Amino acid sequence: MIRVVLAVLLTTALLGASLPAIDEARLEHTETTVGTELRGLERAATDLLDTDVPTEDGARRVVEIRLPARSWSDAGVDAVTIGQSRTSGGGRLTWTATGGRQRVRHLPGVPLRTGDGTPLTLEGTERHRLVLSLDGNRTAPVVTVRTFTSDDGTSGAHATVVTDRRRSGRRVRV
DSSP states of 120-151 as a string?
EEE-SSSEEEEEEEEEE-SSSEEEEEEE---T
Average pLDDT over residues 14-36: 81
What pLDDT shows up at residue 172?
42
Q: What pairs with residue 41 in β-bridges?
A: none
Task: State the total domains in the chain.
Answer: 1
Residue 16 neighbours by CB distance under 10 Å: 9
Q: Is the pLDDT of residue 50 over 50?
A: yes
What pLDDT shows up at residue 53?
74
Check: CB of residue 28 under 8 Å from CB of residue 34.
Answer: no
What pLDDT shows up at residue 162?
42
Q: Is the pLDDT of residue 140 over 80?
A: yes
- Residue numbers of the domain that contains 36: 2-173
- Rounded Cα–Cα distance for residues 91 and 159 (Å): 19
C-alpha radius of gyration, the chain, whole number:
21
pLDDT digits (tens, 9 = 90+) for 53-109: 776 666 788 899 988 888 888 888 888 999 888 777 788 999 988 888 888 888 888
Banded pLDDT at 168 (limits 50, 70, 90): very low
Average pLDDT over residues 25-40: 87
Give the pTM. Answer: 0.71
